[in-house]
Structure 1
Amino acid sequence: MRTDFKKEPKTVRCAIYTRKSTSEGLDQDFNTLDAQRMSGSNFIASQIGQGWLELEERYDDGGYTGGNMERPALKRLLADVNAGKIDCVVVYKVDRLSRSLLDFSRIMEQLDGAGCSFVSTTQHFNTTSSMGRLTLNILLSFAQFEREIISERTRDKMAAARRQGKYVGGRPLLGYDLDRDSKRLIVNESEAAIVRQIFDLYLEKRGLVTTVQEIRSRGWRTKRWTTKTGKTIGDAAFCKSRLHCVLTNRIYLGQVCYNDEIYDGEHDGIVSEAVFMEVQKMLKKNRIASGDINHERRKGTLAGLLRCAACDSAMSIATSGRGRGKPSYRYYVCGKAAKRGRKTCPRATLPADDIEKFVVQQLQLLRVDETLLNSICNQARAKMAKKQNDLENERRAIVAEVARLERTISVLSMPDDNGDSNGTRLDSLASCNEQLTRRQQRLMQIDTELLKAGRTLPSRVEILKSARDLETLWEKMTTGERSRFMQLLIERIDHDPQGGNVAITLTDTGREFLSNELSVTEDDQ
């Protein structure tokens, strides 16, 4: 006797994967991810007779591109596939899973290795057959082609907009506001005054770290703005990288850049080209100097100036240890001797301290130009007057900002008709109070600086005394200041080891400041 019975189909555990490239519209009650999931659910329901079962776990990537695999939900999906929790992956279209042919091949390799099938609800094919795989690869090739075309169009559009000087988006900059209607940058005068002072501060402090310290002491922070969704971004303390971005941004010149090309922008500049280029020159110089330190080269104050006349070679700084707890012995060595042996030079080395002290003593003997001294005094007074004017302008802007913040705080402190006393309202109130405190602290600092500004200007007699006493001034200088001082006054120093002569050639600035070139012998030391 034979009994016929129908075999129950094997359960196929199905996971639905959804994706959208942007986050726009995802806050709606029914968005595109929900529509993709509904399509997948309906397809699985139509296959219930084949044992298909929809898993409750959601794999949704909202706001992630299909051009790469850096997606959290996709990573969870593949991890569950490898763990044997999923038998079939269901998507609305192939390009929802990936728009890259290479990435898709890797995903399919993982699915095949785990014995997991793949289904697209709107593009019917079977991945277990060779024809299905061919169809799938053709569809994916078109998806990748479409993604590349969209990228090219976007780049071309941005390039065309840049060539016309248009602002194409990005984080708002300190010193500008964005007109949402015209999409143009409008100068914010109070912030623009701060930007100009930041550039002047860097030229005065001559370093990123010291400038950041001064900026923080004044309470200045980065641009603060509110997004369309009401989220507040920015308003952060300055650091070296943020300061460097400000100092190197050509938008402050009224220009825009694209692919290393510079175009005139639709917006107005707020920093003069002379100041901007001077800052770039100093940044480059400081970067080279810091590179020497990072590579453990202890730069001497005469590095780049001192040359060996016999070998026609530059002399570089070198050090040798003297034991634990003792300072290293510094000396200048002939470049030719360092490469080919010390016997190739009549005198391969010079004690660094001795030659540096000797050069300062020779400069000390020269007469300071009285006309240039008067010019220095006038420049110092003009610089102090500009500083006072900048402080007064900043004070007026802060007073207006304080009044605005106080009005805003007064409005936010009033009880709401709806009884809303927390959430966004409290966050805004706390933020305004914090800004008000910083502005009031900065006002106190400005008042103090204005009181001291007129007292700190040195008299002509004090400037003359300092200029004539270079040896005392030299002892008070840092290593970096000594190097800059020498670079300013001296063009080159030629040491003749055979005749024992040292010839000092002054720069144009040095000749203006001092009387004549020097040519002395080592016996005069």
Structure 2
Amino acid sequence: MKIRVISILDRITIKAQGAYLRKMEHMTFTSIVRQRNGNFWRADIYDKLGIDNKSTKEKKRIGIYCRVSTREQTLGYSIDNQKNKCQDYMRLFNDDYVEPIFYIDEGHSASTLERPSMKQMLQDICDRKLDEIIIYKLDRLTRNVSDTYELLSMFSKNDVNLVAVMDNLDITTANGKLVVGILAIFAQWERETIIERTNDGLLQMAMEGRYPKSGSLLGYSKDKEKYLTINEETAPIIRSIFMYATAGYPLSDIRIKIKETYDYKLRTDRMKRIIFENGYYGEFTYKGYVFPDVMQAIVSKAEAMEARKIVGKRSVAYGEEQNKFYYRNKITCRNCGNILGGIPTYKKSKKYYYYYCKKCNQRINQDLISHQIMHDIITHTDKEDYKIEAGDILRGINKLQRKLKTVSRQYAEDFLSDEAYDTIIRSVNLKLNKEKARFGKIKIINGHNWNELSDEEKRGYIEQTILTMCVDLSRKEIIKIKYFESDSKEK
């Protein structure tokens, strides 16, 4: 009982005093293999040594923190093993304690302290509900050096001891704090090394044309070797998303149309990610590099850029009059390629609606667009119920257009003077515009012509018919129209 034990190579001296022996136990007996029968606890050790172990201290309040990341779960890193080791330590080296509080973060990385149970534990520490925290290893707490020192400062400030069972340390001594700092540096180095190796491996996969992420994107299928191929069953969904986005449909409307057409549910935030995924036009971007062989293009780059431009433009509010702008988000400027925004103006107590290019500082009246486009829309759709009437108007238009060509040829061959040419051209164009205006009287929806439709019906008709159109603002003319079911049509 009064024998002093000296271990020369370990540089350890154990005196037969209870208070000192408790500290040495933390240093020398951290891994105990015990059985349910034939074993004894720490109190029995003191009894055998004849040391008075009675204490009037309050029961110690202990928290046990366990963590395992998603990757470690796949490697069999067990939460139960951590809990058992921490409980063994607690029972061996504590005389009297309250039942421990377990803080378990399963499937969380140590790269940040933003973990549910970690935040709860730190709050309990600040509320002074704990005296000691027991962890399996220091890297269960964090792998970040700055976070380690932040936690140590918090523990010290709130008189909470930290014990790492497998690392043989606690922070009640200066040496313990030093070792904690050193281990934290190595833990962070190990984490960063793993990240670097993982990133190198994933980049190598992408260089080989394989998809380096988990799962696969909508529109593609992934084989066992992680190569992507276009899935012809779901690829049409992707094409439709880009098509409707280019046509100016809100994401909420696109979601409804996709559900109606393909019976496939998509959230609006996911559709936005799809629109801004470079891989859909064949340029898969990963960790700052572009890999052209990972994802085959489902849509063209031009179509993808146009859809993004439209989605970004939708942030411009039209207010309560949004249905008054029949061609909103569909008109681009021929000069700069920008999408035209809608602006209303008042003239003599009457309201007019214009489409305006901020960059070119030019605009075009909506009525003028409707006047120019209506005959083209009707001839394009070519419905049987007004085909005969439209054909009669077209014959008149074709006759006037032939006359324009004849006059232009005569003028080029010097058979007409400048004054005569201008007079004839103005007269023919006036007749041509009147003839085109007749299209506005053709009944296109539910027995009503364009002028009889409500603003909502006009907007809906344009939405279903026209994808985009290009306008020459200086000449106030429509240059190109692109319809949903066909290629672009030059005017």
1:35 matched to 2:81: yes
CA contact (8 A) 1:90 1:121 kept: yes
**Rounded Cα–Cα distance in structure 2 between residues aligned with 1:474 and 1:25:** 65
**Rounded Cα–Cα distance in structure 1 between residues aligned with 2:366 and 2:219:** 45
Q: Which amino acid aligns with 2:202?
A: M
1:218 matched to 2:146: no
CA deviation vs aligned residue, 1:52-106 (integer Å, no higher than 9, x gap) = 5373432222211111112222233223333433211111221111112222233
CA contact (8 A) 1:40 1:91 kept: yes
Give the superposition deviation at 1:471: 5.3
**Rounded Cα–Cα distance in structure 2 between residues aligned with 1:260 and 1:334:** 34
**Rounded Cα–Cα distance in structure 2 between residues aligned with 1:218 and 1:276:** 22
CA contact (8 A) 1:14 1:52 kept: no
Q: Which amino acid aligns with 1:462?
A: A
Give the superposition deviation at 1:132: 2.9
- How has the CA–CA distance of structure 1 residues 43 and 282 changed in structure 2, closer, same or farther, with 3 Å as cutoff? same
Q: Find the counterpart in structure 2 of residue 462 from structure 1.
A: 390
Give the superposition deviation at 1:123: 2.6
Q: Secondary structure at the match of 1:58?
A: strand
Q: Secondary structure at the match of 1:122?
A: coil
Instruction: Determine which of 290, 295, 312 is the counterpart of 1:262.
Output: 290
Q: Find the counterpart in structure 2 of residue 107 from structure 1.
A: 151
Q: 5+ unaligned residues in a row in structure 2: which ranges?
A: 1-50, 398-435, 442-448, 483-488
Give the superposition deviation at 1:168: 1.5
TM-score (norm. length: structure 2): 0.58
- How has the CA–CA distance of structure 1 residues 471 and 54 changed in structure 2, closer, same or farther, with 3 Å as cutoff? same
**Rounded Cα–Cα distance in structure 2 between residues aligned with 1:155 and 1:27:** 19
**Rounded Cα–Cα distance in structure 2 between residues aligned with 1:167 and 1:209:** 30
Give the superposition deviation at 1:319: 4.7
**Rounded Cα–Cα distance in structure 1 between residues aligned with 2:283 and 2:243:** 20
Q: Find the counterpart in structure 1 of residue 164 from structure 2.
A: 120
Q: Which amino acid aligns with 1:8?
A: K
Q: 5+ unaligned residues in a row in structure 1: which ranges?
A: 222-236, 308-313, 339-348, 382-454, 494-502, 515-525
- How has the CA–CA distance of structure 1 residues 217 and 129 changed in structure 2, closer, same or farther, with 3 Å as cutoff? same
Q: Find the counterpart in structure 2 of residue 190 from structure 1.
A: 233
Q: Which amino acid aligns with 1:213?
A: I
Give the superposition deviation at 1:19: 1.4
Q: Which amino acid aligns with 2:211?
A: Y
Instruction: Determine which of 8, 12, 15 is the counterpart of 2:63.
Output: 15
- How has the CA–CA distance of structure 1 residues 26 and 116 changed in structure 2, closer, same or farther, with 3 Å as cutoff? farther
1:292 matched to 2:316: yes
Rg larger for: 2
Q: Find the counterpart in structure 2 of residue 343 from structure 1.
A: none
CA contact (8 A) 1:19 1:33 kept: yes
Give the superposition deviation at 1:260: 5.1
CA contact (8 A) 1:306 1:492 kept: yes
Instruction: Determine which of 135, 139, 150 is the counterpart of 2:183.
Output: 139
Give the superposition deviation at 1:117: 0.8
Greater Cα offset, 182-191 or 146-155:
182-191
Q: Secondary structure at the match of 2:61?
A: strand
TM-score (norm. length: structure 1): 0.55
Instruction: Determine which of 452, 474, 478 is the counterpart of 2:459.
Output: 478
- How has the CA–CA distance of structure 1 residues 160 and 479 changed in structure 2, closer, same or farther, with 3 Å as cutoff? same
Instruction: Determine which of 210, 213, 224 is the counterpart of 1:166.
Output: 210
Q: Secondary structure at the match of 2:211?
A: coil
Q: Which amino acid aligns with 2:257?
A: E
Q: Find the counterpart in structure 2 of residue 434 from structure 1.
A: none
- How has the CA–CA distance of structure 1 residues 7 and 205 changed in structure 2, closer, same or farther, with 3 Å as cutoff? closer
**Rounded Cα–Cα distance in structure 2 between residues aligned with 1:315 and 1:7:** 83
Q: Secondary structure at the match of 2:188?
A: helix
Give the superposition deviation at 1:167: 1.0
- How has the CA–CA distance of structure 1 residues 270 and 40 changed in structure 2, closer, same or farther, with 3 Å as cutoff? same
**Rounded Cα–Cα distance in structure 2 between residues aligned with 1:334 and 1:195:** 30
**Rounded Cα–Cα distance in structure 1 between residues aligned with 2:388 and 2:283:** 42
Q: Find the counterpart in structure 2 of residue 46 from structure 1.
A: 92
CA deviation vs aligned residue, 1:223-280 (integer Å, no higher than 9, x gap) = xxxxxxxxxxxxxx2243333334444444555321454323356x373xxx433432
1:492 matched to 2:473: yes
- How has the CA–CA distance of structure 1 residues 464 and 359 changed in structure 2, closer, same or farther, with 3 Å as cutoff? same
Instruction: Determine which of 111, 114, 120 is the counterpart of 1:70.
Output: 114
Give the superposition deviation at 1:47: 1.8
Q: Which amino acid aligns with 2:269?
A: S
CA deviation vs aligned residue, 1:298-357 (integer Å, no higher than 9, x gap) = 8988998799xxxxxx999465799xxx98676899999x9xxxxxxxxxx99x9xx655
- How has the CA–CA distance of structure 1 residues 56 and 195 changed in structure 2, closer, same or farther, with 3 Å as cutoff? same
**Rounded Cα–Cα distance in structure 2 between residues aligned with 1:281 and 1:480:** 25
Q: Find the counterpart in structure 2 of residue 279 from structure 1.
A: 303
> RMSD between aligned alpha carbons?
5.1
CA contact (8 A) 1:99 1:143 kept: yes
- How has the CA–CA distance of structure 1 residues 131 and 463 changed in structure 2, closer, same or farther, with 3 Å as cutoff? farther
Written as runs of structure 1 = structure 2, the 5 A alignment for 1:55-454 is 55-179=99-223, 181-196=224-239, 199=242, 208-221=251-264, 237-253=265-281, 256-259=284-287, 261-265=289-293, 269=296, 271=298, 275-287=299-311, 289-293=313-317, 317=343, 319=345, 357=367
Give the superposition deviation at 1:508: 7.3
- How has the CA–CA distance of structure 1 residues 359 and 188 changed in structure 2, closer, same or farther, with 3 Å as cutoff? closer
Q: Find the counterpart in structure 2 of residue 522 from structure 1.
A: none
